[in-house]
Amino acid sequence: MAAKTKVRSAKKRRFINNTIVHVVLAILAFIWVFPIIWVILTSFRAEKGSYVSTFFPQSFTLDNYVKLFTDTSILNFPQMFMNTLFIAVCACILSTFYVLAVSYCLSRLKFKLRKPYMNMAMILGLFPGFMSMIAVYFILKAIGLTEGNLIKVALILCYSGGAGLSFQIAKGFFDTVPIAVDEAALLDGCTRWQIFTKITLPLSKPIVIYTVLTSFMAPWLDFIFAKVICRANSDQYTVAIGLWNMLQKEYIDSWYTSFAAGAVLISIPIAILFLFMQRYYVDGMSGAVKG
Amino acid sequence: MKKRGLAMMLAFVLAATGLVGCGNGTDGASGGKEKIRLMVWSPSEDQSKDSGEWLQTMCENFADEHPEWDITFVYGVADEASAAGQVAQDAEASADVFMYANDTITTMTDANALAKFGGKYREEIESTNSEEVLASLTKDGELYGVPFTTNTWFMYYDKSVFSEEDIKNLDTMLEKGVVSFPMTNSWYLPAFYIGNGCTLFGDGTDESKGVDFSGEKAVEVTNYLIDLEQNPNFRIDADGSGIAGLRDGSISAIFSGSWDANAVKEALGDNMGVAALPTFTLNGEEKQMMAYAGSKAIGVNPNCDDMAAAVELAVYLGSAEAQRAHYELRTVIPCNTELMAEQEIAADPLVMAQNNTFNYTSILQPFVSKMNNCWTPVENMGKGIRNGSVTHDNAAEQTESMNEAMNSDGI
């Protein structure tokens, strides 16, 4: 009898604990998701203007999305979207290659400058990138990359150039792949490049995917470099500059709901990438041992 | 910190312009025509098809008028407020002719990125503009641009709620309908203080005189504003709540500028009224609200290759003809005195309201560098009144500390 009540009270206690935990989590989740829901609702709002007195729109419409893609005379969103996509994809490919190659070298090759390089990267990494923004602008200008379509090249260089410094996470992952595997391959006549492409990379899918994700997101979301380098070349604007323009005094009243629509649209590619790659992403971050 | 950043930026600008040198020289003359490349920046509406491609049309007209030059135009997008930052960042790679708001003059003159107008051009500009407009573009006796519109704020109201008589006084208006004012915005709030005799830098140009927002005259205004905020017919306009209120009818008057004209027209239709600023009643006396006013102008880059053509183009873009086209295509309110005298334009209530505000119920917004210290303290005062931390009991003290902050360089 006594044992039975004990079991029941333990169950009860667990039930109460779980309830409390879930209620707290639900509240946190609500607070977290709330702004996103608000942006999505605003993007479908039919009433114009930046301010409304009700949380839920009085009526819904798709016009805000239509306007983004049809009203291109003042702010050409489709062009900005394509610019950004092009820059982000190129920068992503380049910097993924840089990061993985540097990480592999630092993890597997023994050379004299290895330690000094890692220390230097650590120290350089402490400075914010936009500190050198103006200097970068003038260097690009001196090479002649600040006009016309070359601006895209300039931006791709900006976003991928510093990638060699952010090797830490990938290097940590490569370190967990047993050296014995490499040695076996060497004995069988593999070159270093073949080891890298045929053995290390296939064993490190999670970290490859993590690197791809982060190096796609940086140029996709960046505002500050794009703003400094694009200047008055409106045909080279990226989405971030376009969205910022929509909130200027002259445009905010007529473009605010379209701004929300634009914000939803740019989060879609990232959301899709994350949904597909979430599993690898978590694995990559935890540095799981493979081999 | 901000200042140091700017100084560093300027140092970079100087160093780099020294190093990089000049890239695009003009080609030799061909067929008796001088080949010229002019880069022109304007807000994107001036170049959009929907609003008539004002800039392109004007530039082509200009080219037709000057057969001696073979001009290639290169267009870029920079609105008046941000052009100064772009030009100061790298004057050499910036437009030859651009549009800017007059409060950014010092940013560009400090970077040596704004050309002076002299000789016959200056005479021409002076003969077609009012003294107030010219004063807004003059620094140390030098004229720095061709004005094409004035820039200030005034009152939009619902004609079905307020009569012509009501709108002369803010307190009368508050008895009849709901009025909204951007109290937490420091471009608007000083209107009350200046109305009661507070001054900024003497007449606005003498930096050494400092800001005088102190003493009884300022405290009276703070007390008035506290009562105003508590008036049930008063709403604070922030984040576009004013214009939203006009749309749903909960607000009948707001304070804003010409950029909101189309939205207000849409909201109020035939009941849309526009007027210069009203007075307010302070301790039984009528005081006039005084807005900050400035102008927008066309500037010329001193680094351009063809100074003569650039200056000619700037003067042309600010001429009566170009201003008329600007007004017809985009309702940019003209400031040319000849144009203002014309029946058709003078009859437009929007033009009247903006110009009456500019001429009678405003002060020239100071553009001395110390003006930068004046925005945050005033904004904090507005926010303090809104959230109740500024009360009748501590009004004197709070006003004094606002004045102190406006006069200090500290952040």
Residue B342 belongs to domain with CATH number: 3.40.190.10
| B36 and B137 co-located in one domain | yes
Q: Does A291 map to a domain?
A: no
pLDDT band at A148 (very low <50, low <70, confident <90, very high): confident
Of all residues in chain A, the one with the smallest CA distance to B9 is A134
Instruction: For residue B29, give every residue at least 6 positions away whose Cβ sits within 8 Å of its Cβ, in sequence order, or none.
Output: B35
Region of poorest pLDDT, from A109-118, B23-32, B297-306, B319-328: B23-32
A58 and A143 share a domain? no
Q: Is B70 a residue whose pLDDT tops 50?
A: yes
Compute the distance between CA of residue B353 and CA of residue B331 in angstroms, rounded to an integer. Answer: 14
**A3: confidence class by pLDDT, cuts 50, 70, 90:** low
CA A154 from centre of chain: 20
Q: B259 by DSSP, 3-state: which?
A: helix
Q: Mutate which of B90, B98, B100, B301 to test chain A, going by most A C-beta atoms within 10 A? A: B90
For the stretch B248-306, pLDDT in tens is: 899 999 999 988 888 899 899 999 999 999 999 998 899 999 999 999 999 999 998 88
Task: For residue B247, list chain A residues with Cβ-Cβ distance below 8 A.
Answer: 47-49
Query: Which of B14, B79, B266 should one mutate to test binding to chain A, selecting the residue with the greatest count of A CBs within 10 A?
Result: B79
CB contacts of B13 in chain A (<8 Å) are 134
Q: What is the mean pLDDT of residues A59-76?
A: 88
The whole-angstrom distance between B390's CA and the closest CA on chain A is 26
pLDDT at B9 over 60: no
Confidence of residue A150 (pLDDT cuts 50, 70, 90): very high
Q: What is the span of the domain harbouring residue B34?
A: 29-151+294-363
pLDDT top residue among B29 and B179: B179
Chain B residue closest in CA terms to A49: B244
Are B93 and A146 an interchain contact pair (Cβ–Cβ within 8 Å)?
A: yes
Spell out a b/e string for A201-230, using b for 16 or more CB atoms within 10 Å of the CB, else e.
eebbebbbbbbbbbbbbbbbebeebbbbbb
CB spacing of B77 vs A232 below 8 angstroms: yes
Among candidate residues B332, B347, B363, the one where a domain is terminated: B363
Is the separation of the CB atoms in B83 and B100 below 8 Å? yes
Query: Is residue B276 domain-shared with residue B314, that is, in the same domain?
Result: no
**Mean pLDDT score of chain A, rounded to an integer?**
87
Which helix (H) or strand (E) is B396 found in, with range? Answer: helix B395-406
Tally of domains within chain B: 2
Asked if A241 and A280 sit in the same domain, the reply is yes
Final residue before a domain boundary, out of A43, A63, A83: A63
pLDDT greater than 60 at residue A68: yes
Is A212 found in the same domain as A190? yes
Nearest-CA neighbor of A220 among A234, A238, A206?
A: A238
Does residue A70 surpass a pLDDT of 50? Answer: yes
- Give me the pLDDT at residue A269, please: 83
Instruction: Look at B76 and A234 and tell me if their CB atoms are within 8 Å.
Output: yes
Same domain, A133 and A175: yes
* A86 and A70 within one domain: yes
Number of domains in chain A: 2
pLDDT at residue B29 greater than cutoff 50:
no
Whether B17 has a pLDDT exceeding 50, the answer reads no
The reply to whether B2 falls in a domain is no
Q: What H or E segment, with its residue span, contains residue B105? A: helix B105-110
B395 and B269 both lie in a single domain: yes
Confidence grade of residue A285 (pLDDT, cut at 50, 70, 90)? low
Cβ of A234 within 8 Å of Cβ of B49? The answer is no
Q: Are residues A263 and A161 in the same domain?
A: yes
Q: Residues B183, B274: one domain? A: yes
pLDDT of the residue at B411 = 54
The pLDDT value recorded for residue B169 is 94
Whether residue B244 and residue A75 make contact (CB cut-off 8 A), yes or no, is: no
Show the domain range for A235. 64-286
Q: Which residue of A has its CA nearest to B80?
A: A250
Same domain, B222 and B322: no
| Whether the predicted pLDDT of A164 surpasses 90 | no
Shared domain for A44 and A136, answered yes or no, is no
- Distances from the Cα of B395 to the Cα of A282, B283, B388, B398, angstroms: 56, 16, 11, 5
CA distance A90 to chain B (A): 26
> Using the beta-carbon criterion (under 8 Å), do B50 and A234 form an inter-chain contact?
no
The pLDDT assigned to B28 comes to 42
A98 CA: distance to closest CA in chain B (Å) = 30
Residue A49's CB is within 10 A of a number of other CB atoms, namely 23
Write down the residue that tokens 């402490």 correspond to: A126
Q: Are B246 and B268 in contact (CB under 8 A)?
A: yes
B16 chain-A contacts, CB cut-off 8 A: 138, 141-142
B20 vs A47, A142, A233: nearest CB: A142
Residue B115: C-alpha distances to residues B89, B96, B146, B304 (Å): 16, 10, 11, 10
Q: What is the pLDDT of residue B13?
A: 45
- Least CB-CB distance to A135: which of B12, B79, B90? B12
Question: Which parts of chain A fold into alpha helices (H)?
Answer: 2-43, 63-70, 77-108, 114-124, 133-143, 150-161, 168-175, 179-187, 192-194, 201-203, 205-221, 224-230, 239-246, 252-286
- For residue B82, the model assigns a pLDDT of 86
In a domain? residue B19:
no
In a domain, B4, yes or no: no
| CB-based contact B90 A75, cutoff 8 Å | no
Q: Are residue B256 and residue B385 in the same domain, yes or no? A: yes
Per-residue pLDDT tens over the stretch B148-166: 999 999 999 999 999 999 9
| Mean pLDDT across chain B | 87
Residue A96 clears pLDDT 50, i.e. is over it: yes
User: Are B243 and A253 within 8 A, CB to CB?
Assistant: yes
Nearest CA in chain A to B86: A231
Please answer whether residues B335 and B318 qualify as being in contact, where contact means their C-beta atoms are separated by less than 8 angstroms.
no
* Chain A environment of B50 (Cβ under 8 Å): 73-74
Smallest Cα distance from A50 to chain B, Å: 6
Q: What distance in Å separates the CA atoms of residue A152 and residue A77, rounded to the nearest whole number?
A: 16
pLDDT band at B44 (very low <50, low <70, confident <90, very high): confident
Co-location of A45 and A181 in the same domain: no
Question: Can you say how many angstroms the Cα of residue B273 is from the centroid of all Cα atoms in its chain?
Answer: 22
pLDDT, tens digit (0-9, with 9 covering 90-100), for B177-205: 999 999 999 999 999 999 999 999 988 87
Residue A1 pLDDT exceeds 70: no
My answer on whether B322 and B216 are in the same domain is: no
Q: For residues B34-46, give the mean pLDDT.
A: 90
For residue B208, is pLDDT > 90?
no
